Chain A
Amino acid sequence: AQTVTQSQPEMSVQEAETVTLSCTYDTSENNYYLFWYKQPPSRQMILVIRQEAYKQQNATENRFSVNFQKAAKSFSLKISDSQLGDTAMYFCALPLGTSYGKLTFGQGTILTVHP
């Protein structure tokens, strides 16, 4: 069975600073994807960044980057130059297989960016 664990229920950061959200997972797959989703208050969930397990290079999307440690099954999200609009619930997610698509989500981390 797949599991995704986020051990930080809440985090806060000052505007313009950097924050890192943690995620660990377990899967028997060898080739898989990992995702970070953002769910702003009362708004729909959107994909922030994805990582393909067979790629050693960590994914980067503008101010968002990941630290993917395959052997440790760790997948953290770093947000640089935090903005007020980054305030949201963040979920780490793992799909079953590479084409199946069913997502297993972590418990989420509430991130608050303070001015």
Chain B
Amino acid sequence: DTGVSQDPRHKITKRGQNVTFRCDPISEHNRLYWYRQTLGQGPEFLTYFQNEAQLEKSRLLSDRFSAERPKGSFSTLEIQRTEQGDSAMYLCASSSFSGTSGSSYNEQFFGPGTRLTVL
């Protein structure tokens, strides 16, 4: 399977615990995005990387959230001191970007998501 993979698929944790999610993008893709989706809503952008550089973080990404993509391949999203409001589906997507302004849009391919439940 050469699609985007995420691990774990489900995570149940107690309030105050730390959790870490992993995303493996499609191998040739240089861009990687994290989104959060709450029940019945559309995904909301959290952050994105181009290669190993984190180029933007949403205001939704509080200080308790940190994301890394150390070698420009897989990425991790860590949530410290989880709160019940963090319960959501965390989606990862990847795409290729050539760097040419105005070039054809490169489709984002989504992973299956990690569903986090904070008790």
Contact = CB atoms under 8 A, between A and B. Distances in A.
Nearest to A44: B112
A33 interface: yes
B107 A103 contact: no
Interface string B9-37: 00000000000000000000001010100
How many chain B residues sit at the interface, stated as a range, is: 20 to 34
Interface residues of A, number: 25
Contact of B48 (A44, A47, A101): A101
Interface of B: 3-4, 31, 33, 35, 40-45, 48, 56, 91, 95, 97, 100-103, 105-108, 110-113
Instruction: Please classify the interface of chain B as helix (H, G, I), strand (E, B), loop, or mixed, using the class held by over half of its residues.
Output: loop
A107 B42 contact: yes
B26 to A, nearest CB: 13
A83 B60 CA distance: 37
B106 A45 contact: no
A99 B100 contact: yes
A23 B45 CA distance: 19
